[in-house]
Chain A
């Protein structure tokens, strides 16, 4: 997903502070980044159209809030990264430390633990 710097900063803002309208978001960013209310409004509108913000009307203004939690959003980025350069699903996210395994059964885990202990003991004896 293509996200600009301001869009990412706005997402961070909503994850931290919950819901807000464009004026509140502008008041937060203006001292740090400058810009105009119009820029903030269009940024929030883009995030809404990308499905990353939800909004409802209160009076004349839209009140926005994050459509996804940070955990869910990062989780989707993990999925993006697994659609990587190799087709094989089992080699997805090659660099994940454990080659993460949800399919190791309890029996396999016990066997592997026993193997490690056995080898460690043998190595200590030597």
Chain B
């Protein structure tokens, strides 16, 4: 058993862990239920913010809970102290149930962190190869039609000759502007961080979050092209043309090379998003973010109840 400062620090770690997992649980419910905040049709930029908040909530709770614990121990907040009801802050039994979620989080965090570092290193390496084998304007001398942006710190756009030679000047400009938007928004870096933060969720939830994030990035890039003065009809036509060029190329390959595939529905959805007027969302920022704060507070204040619930099955 640990006492005093060591016990206090271990208790903080343990409390933060429980708060983190309760945040994961609440956020997962929010995403999987497909109700409440997620049922609103939000503009891509707002949806992105909501997704960042969703994946950040467990971390915010993990940090906020020790702060609440510290405040609840102060006699100047007697009501908070009653609510948090923290009754063994200066002792920590090493073989109690508290240690298991903490060990689990440390293991999951270490694994996910190392995995993200490996992915980042591999991406950086591939990026330097693309830079070496392309010209100063990012043109790659290969037949495969493709256009993309890559790079974490100094991202850059690339386009292959296989695609560039099949587009006219205005279509090429649309492709370049779209990719420029990804570069300006640092989407590769954002994806690395979002991928890391969403990895702590159950797989079905993290896949949905990542899919929604990737899709909103595409919609934002399309909007950027529109805001640059290009007709949305020309963008839609180019999108379809590029899809056809790639389909034709893939059909001509002995082994279908389909590593660059969003589903067909993605292209369809992007074209429809460009052409049709999306209904404006009625939800205000106040209710959107207020709801998230309320959910967070509920998670924090129910930690003691959760604590007692667990201890009907396990001892300290």
Contact = CB atoms under 8 A, between A and B. Distances in A.
A115 B274 CA distance: 11
B252 to A, nearest CB: 12
Interface in A65-94: 70-71, 74-75, 77-94
A109 B142 CA distance: 26
B88 interface: no
B28 interface: no
A17 B116 CA distance: 39
A101 B261 contact: yes
Contacts of A116: 233, 236-237, 240, 271, 275
Interface stretch (B4-12, B60-68, B242-250, B284-292): B242-250
A58 interface: no
Contacts of B316: none
A81 B144 contact: no
A15 to B, nearest CB: 9
Contacts of A85: 116, 119, 123, 188, 191-192, 194-196
Max count, chain A CB within 10 A of own CB: residue among B126, B178, B236, B256: B126
A74 B267 contact: no
B34 to A, nearest CB: 17
B228 to A, nearest CB: 15
Max count, chain B CB within 10 A of own CB: residue among A88, A91, A98, A123: A98
B266 A99 contact: yes
A100 B133 contact: no
Contact of B247 (A93, A102, A119): A102
Contacts of B143: 71
A106 to B, nearest CB: 9
B267 A101 contact: yes
B262 A100 contact: yes
A102 B211 contact: no
B191 A86 contact: yes
16 contacts: A70-B142, A75-B257, A77-B129, A81-B150, A82-B259, A85-B194, A87-B195, A90-B211, A92-B262, A96-B148, A97-B147, A98-B267, A99-B267, A101-B266, A102-B247, A112-B240
Given A82-B260, A97-B148, 10 more contacts: A2-B125, A85-B194, A86-B195, A87-B203, A88-B214, A90-B261, A95-B182, A97-B242, A112-B240, A112-B271
Interface of B: 116, 119, 122-123, 125-126, 129-130, 132-133, 140-144, 146-150, 157, 160, 175, 178-179, 182, 187-188, 191-192, 194-196, 203, 206-207, 210-211, 213-215, 217-218, 221, 233, 236-237, 239-240, 242-244, 246-247, 250, 256-264, 266-268, 270-272, 275-276
Interface of A: 1-3, 5, 8, 12, 70-71, 74-75, 77-105, 108-109, 112-113, 115-116, 119-120, 123
